[in-house]
Amino acid sequence: MGNELVEETLMKYFCTLSDKNYACQGIALLRSLRRYANDFVLYYLCLDSETRDMVERLGGPDVVTMSIEEFEKADPQVTDCRSQKVDDKFHMGFTSYSQFCYAMTPFWTNFVLNHLPENIEWFAYLDSDLFFRQPLEPVFQTMGTKSVGIFRHRHLDNTCPSGEFNVGMVVFRNDETGKKCAAWWREVIRNPNNQWAGKYGTCGDQKYLEMFIPLFGTDRVAILDDFIGHGAPWNYSLYQYDGDFIIWKGKRQLLVFNHFSHFIPDFDHGTYKEAKGKEWGQCIVSPQVRKWYDEYFAEVKGVRDDLGRGV
Q: 250: closest CA among 263, 240, 236? A: 240
Contact 233, 157 (CB under 8 A): no
Q: Read off φ and ψ for residue 147, nearest 5 degrees.
A: -105, -20
Report the Cα 106 to chain-centroid distance in Å: 11
* Neighbouring residues of 6: CB distance < 8 A, sequence distance ≥ 6: 41, 64
CA distance 44 to 63: 7
Positions in the chain whose pLDDT score sits under 50: 1-4, 6-10, 84-94
Exposed e or buried b per residue across 201-222, where buried means at least 16 C-beta atoms within 10 angstroms of its C-beta: bebbbbbbbbbbbeebeeebbb
* pLDDT single digits (tens) 157-189: 999 999 999 999 999 999 999 999 999 999 999
The pLDDT score that the predictor gives to residue 59 is 83
Report the Cα 146 to chain-centroid distance in Å: 20
The pLDDT score that the predictor gives to residue 308 is 87
Domains and CATH numbers, the chain: 12-224 (3.90.550.10)
Cα torsion angle, 275, 98, 24, 110, sign: positive
Measured in residues, the chain has a length of 311
The pLDDT score that the predictor gives to residue 94 is 42
Q: 124: closest CA among 140, 145, 138? A: 140
Whether the model clears a pTM of 0.95, i.e. scores above it, the answer is: no
CA distance 258 to 247: 15
